[in-house]
Amino acid sequence: MEALLTSIGVIALAELGDKTQFLSLYLAARYRKPVPVLAGIFVATLASNILASLAGHWIGRYLTPEILRWTLGLSFLAMAGWVLLPERAGARESGKHVGERGAFTGTVVSFFIAELGDKTQIVAAALAARFDSLFWVIAGTTIGMMLANLPAVIGGHYFASRVPSRIANYIAAAIFAVQAALTLAGIEVF
């Protein structure tokens, strides 16, 4: 029980103000479908936490911080470009965005990429090393992430009707571009 409660608390606190909370807000505003976005966050988070918990120490031995930094920085640049891709006419109303990707698939892919090398993934690996209960660590880290991102999804869905989508895209692209520049420069803000 200690592994579960510690994992929930530590991850929920670590996620506050994290880039993936901004991503959750953006995805909810972009797709305007909170249930598929939350489901996508859950699947991506679960996959990320399983990966971190099972392979955290092994990956740490082979990937240098420099390789991880460049991979993450370039991923942020890709996300900045992705959010600027124009939507097809009527895509927002039909629920389809940027090609045929739906809210669920778009969320799973973008959230999983954003979590690679993130502090919450590193914390999940450390928690798995500390506690001899892999199941409870994965469950706790996943619950903690969901608790932290739920308000962002609800807020993004609420504000989506109040902010024009192109402006939201420009703001999101700017956030990802700044995060990419900071990451590539070796400055960790989020």
Residue 36 confidence (pLDDT): 92
How many other β-carbons are positioned within 10 Å of the β-carbon of residue 146?
A: 19
pLDDT score recorded for residue 41: 95
pTM, full prediction: 0.68
- Token pair for 164: 């024009």
Most confident of the ranges 33-47, 68-82, 118-132, 150-164: 33-47
Q: DSSP H helical segments within 63-185, as ranges?
A: 65-84, 91-94, 103-115, 119-130, 134-159, 165-184
Amino acid at 99: G
Cα–Cα distance for residue pair 34/29, rounded to 1 Å: 9
Compute the average pLDDT of residues 69-95.
Answer: 64
Is 189 part of any domain?
A: no
Tracing tokens 């993130």 back to the chain, one arrives at 118
C-beta separation of 117 from 26 below 8 A: no
Residue 45 has pLDDT above 70, yes or no: yes
Helix (H, G, I), strand (E, B) or coil at 33: coil
Whether 166 shows a pLDDT value over 70: the answer reads yes
In a domain, 94, yes or no: yes
Within 10 A of 10 (CB to CB), how many other CB atoms are there?
18
Most confident of 19-23, 80-84, 148-152: 148-152
Closest to 9 in 3D by CA, of 155, 127, 151: 127
Average pLDDT, the chain: 78
The reported pLDDT for the residue numbered 150 is 92
Calpha distance 106→69 (Å, rounded): 23
Percent of the chain residues past pLDDT 70, beyond the cut: 78
How many distinct structural domains can be found in the chain?
1
Q: How confident is the model at residue 50 (pLDDT cuts 50, 70, 90)?
A: very high
Cα angle 107, 149, 65 (rounded to 5 degrees) comes to 75
Range of the domain at 27: 2-184
Cβ–Cβ < 8 Å for 52, 124:
yes
Position 65 pLDDT exceeds 50 = yes
143 has a pLDDT exceeding 90: yes
Question: Residue 86: its pLDDT value, please?
Answer: 66
Give domain status of residue 190, yes or no.
no
In this structure, is residue 90 part of a structural domain? yes
56 pLDDT band, cuts 50/70/90, is: low
Q: Tens digit of pLDDT for each residue in 102-114?
A: 889 989 998 998 8
pLDDT at 140: 95
